[in-house]
């Protein structure tokens, strides 16, 4: 995508003029980075991408499958670009599934272990039990790391469920690194894409 300092040449009745790219309307999402997991311990976006440039970030994850069955999917925050993931989290998530008559599942958690669970019911590891989610991170440089997300989880016997949650950390330190993994076992496959929301 053109940078704000780039320029376009336009013709004004035959007279060439330069126009700053910042004046040309663009998309609201600015693509920053993509990572494909393949038997990966975790996937992380570093301070190269999580900066004060954007107030809101979006992460779209598709076709996420764990190497181990029924393992919680987790998120970790760091304020020192991954040297330490030691934040105290508050989290709440609720889900609905088509198994068992659509009984709601609910989970809330306070965690000082440097991570928090994103799911209310654990995903499986079969091909049809993919985890797909959209994760929105708000003003990471402003502290507390507020986020909300929505997940579409495949389940056994061609069933599925939807889960949505919100989280924050107890400290006001700026977040500059975010990591995803399973509580046990690798991320067998999946793609994670990071975007910055254009501020204006």
- Predicted TM-score of the model (pTM): 0.83
Q: How far apart are CA 172 and CA 169, in angstroms?
A: 8
Count other Cβ atoms within 10 Å, centred on residue 113. Answer: 12
pLDDT attached to residue 25: 57
Mean per-residue pLDDT, 86-102: 79
Q: How far apart are CA 69 and CA 150, in angstroms?
A: 21
Mean per-residue pLDDT, 94-117: 76
């Amino acid at each position: 995508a053109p940078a704000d300092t780039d320029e376009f040449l336009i013709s004004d009745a035959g007279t060439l003029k330069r126009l700053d790219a910042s004046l040309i309307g663009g998309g609201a999402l600015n693509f920053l980075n993509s990572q494909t997991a393949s038997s990966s311990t975790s996937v992380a976006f570093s301070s190269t991408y999580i900066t004060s440039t954007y107030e809101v970030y979006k992460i779209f994850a598709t076709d996420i499958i764990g190497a181990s069955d029924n393992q919680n999917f987790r998120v970790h925050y760091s304020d020192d670009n991954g040297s330490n993931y030691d934040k105290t989290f508050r989290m709440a998530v609720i889900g609905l599934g088509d198994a068992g008559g659509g009984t709601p599942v609910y989970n809330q958690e306070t965690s000082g272990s440097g991570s928090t669970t994103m799911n209310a019911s654990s995903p499986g590891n079969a091909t049809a039990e993919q985890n797909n989610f959209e994760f929105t991170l708000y003003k990471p440089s402003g502290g507390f790391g507020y986020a909300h997300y929505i997940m579409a989880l495949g389940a056994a016997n061609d069933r599925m469920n939807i889960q949505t949650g919100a989280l924050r950390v107890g400290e006001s330190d700026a977040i500059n690194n975010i990591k995803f993994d399973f509580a046990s076992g690798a991320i067998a496959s999946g793609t994670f894409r990071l975007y910055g929301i254009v501020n204006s």
